[in-house]
């Protein structure tokens, strides 16, 4: 697979609505593999197809580093509770902001074989599902930030 360039804030592709995937072709399979490779290489927990310039309703999420979720044509069908926390985006490197999201969500999607399934996510997984699904409709987390977007300082801990 390959690592793709991540589109950054200001790129018009990030503000467009994505099209549904009708079938999983070899090109879609390659895209999914590339998205996973790109997400891991960027140390992200989620990536949506428009972030790599493809206007398809596909997201990949892995909040643990060991359990990747591939969601094709995802639809959030249930939301419960509320959580507010720091949120960032691979399309806005080095930035973050406080965003309120549901504490728990249920999403209906298709896997890479176009089999429909449900996924229930809580806490970080719920946040990631909401964040990535927003991308598919042309929305960024900055639209939901409470207060200001701020710089994230990373410390280099070499032991």
Q: Is 132 a known active-site residue?
A: yes
75-124, pLDDT tens digit by residue? 999 999 999 999 999 999 999 999 999 999 999 999 999 999 999 999 99
Q: Which residues contact 104 (CB under 8 A, 6 or more apart)?
A: 78, 79, 80, 81, 120, 121, 122, 126
Is residue 154 scored above 80 in pLDDT? Answer: no
Return d(Cα 64, Cα 14) in angstroms, integer. Answer: 26
pLDDT, residue 115, reads 98
Give the strand pairing for 104-110 and 69-80. antiparallel
CB 79 within 8 A of CB 136: no
Where does residue 58 rank: exposed (0-12), middle (13-18), buried (19+ CB within 10 A)?
buried
pLDDT, residue 153, reads 78
pLDDT, residue 81, reads 98
Domain 12-151 fold: Peptide Deformylase (3.90.45)
pLDDT, residue 155, reads 57
pLDDT, residue 146, reads 95
Q: Which two tokens stand for residue 51?
A: 């972030």
Within 10 A of 68 (CB to CB), how many other CB atoms are there?
Answer: 15
Residues in the chain: 159
Tell me the pLDDT band of 17, cut-offs 50, 70 and 90.
Answer: very high
Residue 79: phi and psi, rounded to 5, are -135, 140
pTM over 0.85: yes
Return d(Cα 98, Cα 6) in angstroms, integer. Answer: 23
CB 33 within 8 A of CB 71: no
Task: Choose the catalytic residue: 23, 80, 132, 155.
Answer: 132
pLDDT, residue 159, reads 44
22-66, pLDDT tens digit by residue? 999 999 999 999 999 999 999 999 999 999 999 999 999 999 999
Is residue 157 scored above 60 in pLDDT? Answer: no
Tell me the pLDDT band of 1, cut-offs 50, 70 and 90.
Answer: confident
- For residues 57 and 159, the model is more confident at 57
Q: How many alpha carbons lie under 13 Å from residue 47 in its C-beta half-sphere?
A: 27
Q: Which two tokens stand for residue 76?
A: 């959030």
Return d(Cα 52, Cα 8) in angstroms, integer. Answer: 9
């Amino acid at each position: 697979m390959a690592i793709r360039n991540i589109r950054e804030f200001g790129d018009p592709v990030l503000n467009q609505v994505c099209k549904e995937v009708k079938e999983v072709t070899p090109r879609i399979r390659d895209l999914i593999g590339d998205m996973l490779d790109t997400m891991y290489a960027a140390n992200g927990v989620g990536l949506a197809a428009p972030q790599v310039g493809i206007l398809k309703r596909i997201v990949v999420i892995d909040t643990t580093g060991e359990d990747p979720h591939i969601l094709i044509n995802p639809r959030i069908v249930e939301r419960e509770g509320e959580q507010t926390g720091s949120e960032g985006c691979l399309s806005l490197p080095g930035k973050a902001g406080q965003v309120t999201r549901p504490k728990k969500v249920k999403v209906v999607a298709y896997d890479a074989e176009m089999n429909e399934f449900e996924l229930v996510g809580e806490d970080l997984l719920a946040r990631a599902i909401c964040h990535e699904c927003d991308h598919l409709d042309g929305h960024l987390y900055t639209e939901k930030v409470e207060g200001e977007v701020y710089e994230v300082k990373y410390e280099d801990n070499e032991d």
